[in-house]
């Protein structure tokens, strides 16, 4: 059995190896191996693949034993063409930094610390003091959560500590008793949109959620509302969002996830068709809200634990697709 790490995952070999027996063999494949069969001869039926993305046309997928996604999202994995013998697992551990990022952006939208610092001028201190500007606070504000998974729960816990009111919905249904103040069933999304001072997108990208926030939904939001997307960009229609921000339909947006990503090491693409970065009411960050110094340690420690279970013949954790001899 080899452990094959594709693309960016290979950068974390040391973190993974620290939790595995010394005799484990590793192979790094380039990012292009996620979508090209050029390196498939190196993949054997007993191997473990670690990659965020993996797709092949039907009938061209190599056989392997386990595909472990080093993240939560599965939209980069062609589940329908994977070999039937393969198990697929994912890993979380990102809810802590993402929740901190969301709280930071909400606090910054109200307190605006950078602007406060700019107004502090020692040469004219008396005037700066006399003309200090009032700022807002998140206490008493309503946060609307679309999605009720690990990220949403971590956000709701922290928002409660700041005295915020939380209303949530989930495309799959479900309730979080004691953690949220109100639950809007999927058919009552408009009610959530009309109440939210901050709308946080925290659900997976599926065919049901793709484009679920469009022009109609944005018009139902408060004109002062801030949309924060830490999930997947296509959940919000790109053109509708840009127009709503440009014409003031909503107050602002914080965007950490994007509509296009590079697929190869030398691939240069724009993050979106519209220049969101040029709008004064948009904060753009490069899909880095979860990218902390501790994230890889936690994630690859979890993956190492699953590989140890695989070697020992024990049940795996976070199985999102079990092997099936009857699957086409």
Tens-place pLDDT, residues 238-253: 999 999 999 999 999 9
Say if residue 58 is in the same domain as residue 81. Answer: yes
pLDDT in tens, 142-171: 999 999 999 999 999 999 999 999 999 987
Number of domains in the chain: 2
pLDDT of residue 176: 64
| pTM as predicted | 0.85
* 327 within some domain: no
Residue 163, number of CB atoms within 10 A of its CB: 11
Residues 251 and 125 in one domain: yes
Question: Could you list the residue range(s) of the whole structural domain that residue 317 is in?
Answer: 2-93+293-321
Shared-domain flag, residues 213 and 151 = yes
Answer whether 68's CB lies under 8 Å from 319's CB: no
pLDDT at 308: 97
Q: Which tens digit of pLDDT belongs to each residue from 88-145? A: 999 999 999 999 999 999 999 999 999 999 999 888 899 999 999 999 999 999 999 9
Q: How far apart are the first and last CA of the chain?
A: 25
64 and 143 assigned to the same domain:
no
Task: Assess whether pLDDT exceeds 80 at residue 217.
Answer: yes
**Higher local confidence (pLDDT), 276 or 265:** 276
Specify if 328 maps to a domain: no
Which sequence positions are flagged as catalytic?
Answer: 232, 268, 287
Residue 313 is part of a domain; what is its CATH number?
A: 3.40.50.720
Put residue 112 in one of left, alpha, beta given phi > 0 → left and psi -120 to 50 → alpha. left
């Amino acid at each position: 059995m080899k452990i094959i790490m594709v693309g960016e995952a290979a950068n974390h070999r040391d973190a993974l190896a620290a939790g595995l027996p010394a005799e484990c063999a590793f192979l790094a494949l380039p990012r292009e191996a996620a979508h090209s069969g050029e390196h498939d001869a190196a993949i054997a039926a007993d191997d473990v693949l670690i990659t965020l993305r993996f797709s092949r046309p039907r009938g061209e997928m190599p056989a392997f034993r386990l595909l472990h996604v080093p993240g939560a999202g599965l939209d980069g994995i062609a589940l329908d063409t994977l070999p039937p013998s393969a198990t697929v697992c994912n890993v979380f551990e990102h809810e802590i930094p993402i929740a901190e990022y969301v709280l930071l952006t909400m606090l910054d939208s109200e307190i605006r610390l950078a602007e406060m610092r700019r107004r502090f001028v020692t040469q004219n201190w008396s005037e700066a003091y006399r003309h200090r500007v009032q700022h807002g606070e998140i206490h008493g504000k309503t946060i609307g959560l679309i999605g009720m998974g690990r990220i949403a729960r971590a956000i709701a816990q922290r928002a409660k500590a700041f005295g915020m009111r939380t209303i949530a919905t989930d495309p799959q249904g479900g309730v979080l008793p004691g953690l949220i103040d109100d639950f809007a069933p999927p058919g009552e999304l408009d009610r959530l949109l009309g109440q939210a001072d901050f709308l946080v997108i925290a659900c997976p990208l599926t065919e049901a959620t793709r484009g679920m926030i469009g022009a109609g939904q944005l018009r139902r939001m408060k004109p002062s509302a801030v949309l924060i997307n830490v999930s997947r960009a296509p959940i919000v229609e790109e053109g509708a969002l840009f127009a709503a921000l440009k014409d003031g339909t909503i107050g602002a947006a914080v965007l950490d996830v994007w509509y296009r990503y590079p697929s190869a090491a030398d691939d240069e693409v724009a993050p979106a068709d519209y220049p969101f970065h040029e709008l004064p009411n948009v904060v753009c960050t490069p899909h880095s809200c979860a990218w902390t110094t501790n994230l890889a340690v936690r994630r690859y420690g979890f993956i190492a634990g699953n590989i140890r279970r695989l070697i020992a013949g024990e049940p795996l954790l976070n199985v999102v697709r079990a092997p099936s001899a009857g699957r086409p």
